Structure 1
Amino acid sequence: MDTVETRELRYFVAVADELHFGRAADRLGIAQPPLSRAIQQLERRLGVTLLERNRRGVALTAAGEVLVREGRAALDATAAAVRRTRRAGGADGPGDRVVLAVKAGAFHELLNKLLDAYAAEPGAAGIEVLPSGMCEQEGMLRDGRADVALMHTPFNSLAGFDSVELMTEGQVAILPSSHPLARRKTLSLADIADVPDLPLARWPRDDTYPRGPGPEVNDQTQLAQLIALGRTMAVFPESARTWLWDEHAAVPVRDAPPVTTHIVWPAHSRSRALAGLIRTASRL
């Protein structure tokens, strides 16, 4: 059977990301010639062409597209195995603990109920809550930075994971309290799609949240400040009301799709501590 080393996958994914051998070599901290030789050897061993080379750079072939997709998954699985093994053995802190990834600033009430209920269980493990950015929880589960996550459809993909639904809620437009739209009892998506003086915020690397011509935001604090200053608005689940400032208003968006919160974990997990947390979440 043909085998591929983790090192080779890491090299190939770097080239696929950069589409340039020089930049990939700089990213990996190695010289370009050994990187080029490693990719050529990989192609010969697999018997396929992975990259089309030209003077401007490289492009992925159909076979290369498959390998970069499968390679990322394999690298994530390897990283996850290492992280979870170290965590179980106590190499990165107390061994008997579960790392829970949550979107920063959201769902305080639900999260507090879950943590309090689990802490009351006999033999409960420690829970490390790991705040994350928008839609980062999936990657954190796949590469082992987290054991379990609170994720939200339709924004997050649950493909490849096991999950339990916890709650479903509507969405609200969060905007400056001084803006005329803040006096409305409800809004529609059409109402907020094109407001010249209050454009929707843009979320980098995320195609699931509404995009607009407004400022790019990277975290909740930045977003909250820009809304308070009257520079942007955003659409969030109803529970986002918990982090609003006095300068903010939340108006229900009647035709926005409902948001369902799930507790999500890797399908292959056999952690007893995690199983206890899932049982607690299912009872809430």
Structure 2
Amino acid sequence: MADLETRELEYFVALAEELHFGHAAARLTIAQPALSKTVQRLESRLGVKLLERSSRHVALTPAGEALLHHGRHALNAVGAAAEKARRAGDRQAQLRLVIKPGGDADLLSGILAAYAQRPDARQVDILFGGATDRADHILDGRADVGLLYLPFDDMTGLDHETLAVEGRVAILPPGHRLASRTALSLADLAGETLPRWRGVGWTGAPKGVEGPEVSDITEVMQMIRLGRTVAMLPRSLARPRFPDLVYRPVTDAPTSRLVLAWSQTDRRTLVASFVAAAVEAAGAAGVAGAAPTAT
């Protein structure tokens, strides 16, 4: 970053996210004039206008939008590089695994047991992430490995091994027109109201009526109970949490995959050993290629 200093980029990203000099300065714990001067110097050095400002309004220019997008990635990369350097030099480093609650297809205990048998095993810290931020945990160095679901999670910058292949299950409110069926097809669900998963693009669900926005399994289950939506989830994520809901396999739905992911640039033995143990444990459990089942 010959034209940028990390501190300047951090200041700009804070201002671009807040779009308010006072709020950004408070977030950065600096004086507002210092923030303003830093952004002005940055604009002068780059030769572009990053912000449209008035006494009441701050907005990003196209150049500012571009710097915000790439600046976030640059700051994450700098932080990840520092964290990984520290951990690479720490022979007693623990391994950190990020998962979503319940998002292990019942494999985690077996994986941890298999890893513990390896002579180079370290303590494993479990971190819990949300529906869409677990890849970020890996990319920015907060976690070494993570359990992710495809096609839901963005795998940019990550390598992975598939641990389980699953069918999909539709979850319906009681009294739904499809509740009496023993199995469903995608055509059966066409036109149904489906939830919008915050931060998730294509989910493999059929095109339907746009339903409520949700960010986790608990929210979508509650919306189903209220009759506001139906949902289609990977089998391991659709365990009955409410006995009054109806669970039916969707026989022609695209499969989902539970994968163990890590950064493409991470070649540490610490990570490779855990990946090998996870693949071994998943194979022993015999879950790959599991077909959907009614519950």
Scaled by the length of structure 1, the TM-score of the pair is 0.83
Alignment of 1:279 onto 2:276: yes
| CA deviation profile, 1:188-239 (whole Å, cap 9, x unmatched) | 44533544xxx43343333344686544434333443443454543221112
In structure 1, the residue matched to 2:67 is: 67
Q: d(CA) in 2 for partners of 1:97 and 1:107? A: 20
Indicate if the aligned counterparts of 1:160 and 1:267 stay in contact, CA closer than 8 A.
yes
Q: d(CA) in 1 for partners of 2:249 and 2:73? A: 39
Number of residues of Structure 1 aligned to a counterpart in Structure 2: 277
In structure 1, the residue matched to 2:148 is: 151
Once the 2 structures are TM-superposed, how far is the Cα of residue 21 of structure 1 from its aligned partner? 3.2
Aligned to 1:80, the other structure's residue is in SS state helix
| CA deviation profile, 1:241-260 (whole Å, cap 9, x unmatched) | 44544233321223432212
Stretch deviating more after TM superposition (28-37 or 4-13):
28-37
Aligned to 1:109, the other structure's residue is in SS state coil
* Residue type of the alignment partner of 1:9: L
Alignment of 1:9 onto 2:9: yes
In structure 2, the residue matched to 1:204 is: 198
Alignment of 1:172 onto 2:169: yes
- Spell out the pairing of 1:75-224 with structure 2 (5 A cutoff): 75-85=75-85, 95-195=92-192, 199-209=193-203, 213-224=210-221
Indicate if the aligned counterparts of 1:193 and 1:200 stay in contact, CA closer than 8 A.
no
Indicate if the aligned counterparts of 2:194 and 2:211 stay in contact, CA closer than 8 A.
yes
Indicate if the aligned counterparts of 2:171 and 2:248 stay in contact, CA closer than 8 A.
yes
Indicate if the aligned counterparts of 1:99 and 1:128 stay in contact, CA closer than 8 A.
yes
Aligned to 1:200, the other structure's residue is in SS state strand
Alignment of 1:251 onto 2:245: no
Alignment of 1:261 onto 2:258: yes
* Residue type of the alignment partner of 1:249: V
Give runs of ≥4 in structure 1 deviating > 6 Å.
none
Once the 2 structures are TM-superposed, how far is the Cα of residue 110 of structure 1 from its aligned partner? 2.4
| CA deviation profile, 1:124-162 (whole Å, cap 9, x unmatched) | 111112221112111111211111111222111212112
Stretch deviating more after TM superposition (97-106 or 244-253):
244-253
Distance of aligned partners of 1:182 and 1:119 in 2 relative to their CA distance in 1, 3 Å threshold? farther
Q: d(CA) in 1 for partners of 2:202 and 2:79? A: 26
Distance of aligned partners of 1:157 and 1:177 in 2 relative to their CA distance in 1, 3 Å threshold? same
Once the 2 structures are TM-superposed, how far is the Cα of residue 281 of structure 1 from its aligned partner? 2.7
In structure 1, the residue matched to 2:288 is: none
Indicate if the aligned counterparts of 1:105 and 1:243 stay in contact, CA closer than 8 A.
no
Q: d(CA) in 1 for partners of 2:236 and 2:168? A: 8
Indicate if the aligned counterparts of 1:141 and 1:147 stay in contact, CA closer than 8 A.
yes
* Residue type of the alignment partner of 1:50: L
Aligned to 2:143, the other structure's residue is in SS state coil
Gaps of 5+ in 2: 284-295
* Residue type of the alignment partner of 2:178: L
- Please give the root-mean-square deviation of Cα atoms over the aligned residues, in Å: 2.9
Distance of aligned partners of 1:60 and 1:257 in 2 relative to their CA distance in 1, 3 Å threshold? farther
In structure 1, the residue matched to 2:39 is: 39
Once the 2 structures are TM-superposed, how far is the Cα of residue 85 of structure 1 from its aligned partner? 5.0
Once the 2 structures are TM-superposed, how far is the Cα of residue 99 of structure 1 from its aligned partner? 0.7
Distance of aligned partners of 1:271 and 1:124 in 2 relative to their CA distance in 1, 3 Å threshold? same
% identical equivalent positions: 44
